Amino acid sequence: MQSSPSCLSSTFLRVVNNQRRLKRLSNRIPFSIQPFSISAAVVAAATTFNNPPLKMQPIKLYTANTPNGEKVSILCEELKALGKLDYEVHAIDIMKNIQKEDWFLKINPNGRIPAIVDPNNNDFSVMESAAILLYLEKKFDDDHAFSWPSTDAKGDDYRSEVLQWIFFAHGGTGPMQGQANHFRMQAVGESKNVIPYAIKRYRDETLRLYSVYEKHLEGRDWLVGEGKGKYSIADMNAFPWVLWHKFAGIKDEEVGPNVTRWLRNNLDRPAVQKGLRIPSETELLKKILNEVSPAALPTHSHTARALLLFMFLSHTLDFSLFSFLLLPPSLPPLPPQLGKKFSMVESARLDAGAPETVMDPQRTSHFLPTLCI
């Protein structure tokens, strides 16, 4: 996304107009709150420059409220917050097998969500959540907000580390935890004799993989980068899976203190909060957020709300950028496309319990589809 001269001049005009409006406004406000207007001016200018009018058609995101879906909606929200990406959400009801329909198989021959179509690139389609992250990062994170440029002394090394953690999660955490979920919550009927072994096998392996994160995150905030690290697509790729750990029968206290801190770091980000609620906020998600990390939901101080109101009234900012501040700690449920069906896997089973508790004699089908891997 290159800045054209006309784009630059319109950006300049927006800044000038914003400054004029601010000046008019600051003449009318008491001196005691002038510092607010100065800081608002700085933010306004920065925001205007950071958020030029987008010259792109929205990316089409086909998704559902699952870990693999959420990693992509989180990056979309992060890029959207920076004014780098516009996207439209197409909710796919995986319980109705919409993802197996012919039209969808043309987008993703694997018949699974997530998938994207980029109308800015001849409707190029991308399947596989990690490949989608890499595509979006390459195309739209041109300022390297979530990555490192090759021109940095250690840029290529960090790039390699990002790929290492992405492969680790995509080949390890997702598939192992996905099987743990499957055997713990979905495999029923005649297969029940093999289930305890399978449940233990995949749960243990998932825990082992978590212990790798736990050790690596000692003294770090993020998976990759100098010192405590920098938030990157490596974190976005792994976070939703670890957030859903109870599905695999893993208790909060088994996750490890460093991983728990890292989960909170992710949850503290407004774009993560938004991305998790794409395509809708399900009862299951609410349960995960409330039970897994009760302290991690955003709370907004009166000062923050007052500042937001001030900025809004002054019409100097792109309001949508800050709209998250107005969100109540727990969003009211949106019409669930998927929520009801998804809670079919009984959110009660989120309470990590003994394998026997998952046997359901009422179920007659041999195997339900594996939801996520």
Ligand X SMILES: N[C@@H](CCC(=O)N[C@@H](CS)C(=O)NCC(=O)O)C(=O)O
Point out which residues bind ligand X (CB under 6 A).
Answer: 66-69, 94, 99, 111-114, 128-129, 369-373
Question: What CA–CA distance (Å, rounded) separates 76 from 114?
Answer: 12
Q: How far is the CB of 268 from ligand X (least distance, A)?
A: 24
Q: How far is the CB of 227 from ligand X (least distance, A)?
A: 30
> Closer to ligand X at the Cβ: 81 or 238?
238
Strands 124-127, 115-118: pairing kind = antiparallel
> Closer to ligand X at the Cβ: 209 or 311?
209
Question: What CA–CA distance (Å, rounded) separates 63 from 50?
Answer: 28
Residue closest to ligand X, measured at CB: 372
Question: What CA–CA distance (Å, rounded) separates 328 from 81?
Answer: 19
> Closer to ligand X at the Cβ: 110 or 320?
110
Question: At a CB cut-off of 8 Å and minimum separation 6, what does 237 contact?
Answer: 71, 129, 130, 133, 165, 166, 169, 170
> Closer to ligand X at the Cβ: 44 or 209?
209
> Closer to ligand X at the Cβ: 91 or 371?
371
Q: How far is the CB of 235 from ligand X (least distance, A)?
A: 16
Count of positions (residues) in the chain: 373
Query: Which 8-state DSSP code applies to residue 279?
Result: S
Q: In what order do the strands lie in the sheet with 87-91?
A: 87-91, 59-63, 115-118, 124-127
Strand partners, 63: 91
> Closer to ligand X at the Cβ: 67 or 83?
67
> Closer to ligand X at the Cβ: 105 or 326?
105
Asked whether the bond before 114 is cis by omega within 30 degrees of 0, the reply is yes
Q: How far is the CB of 295 from ligand X (least distance, A)?
A: 27
Q: How far is the CB of 42 from ligand X (least distance, A)?
A: 40
Cβ atoms within 10 Å of 185's Cβ, excluding its own:
20
Q: How far is the CB of 247 from ligand X (least distance, A)?
A: 11
Q: Which position has the token pair 């695999």?
A: 248
Question: What CA–CA distance (Å, rounded) separates 203 from 176?
Answer: 8
Question: What CA–CA distance (Å, rounded) separates 251 from 257?
Answer: 12
Q: How far is the CB of 370 from ligand X (least distance, A)?
A: 6
Question: What CA–CA distance (Å, rounded) separates 60 from 116?
Answer: 5
> Closer to ligand X at the Cβ: 229 or 336?
336
Q: How far is the CB of 323 from ligand X (least distance, A)?
A: 28
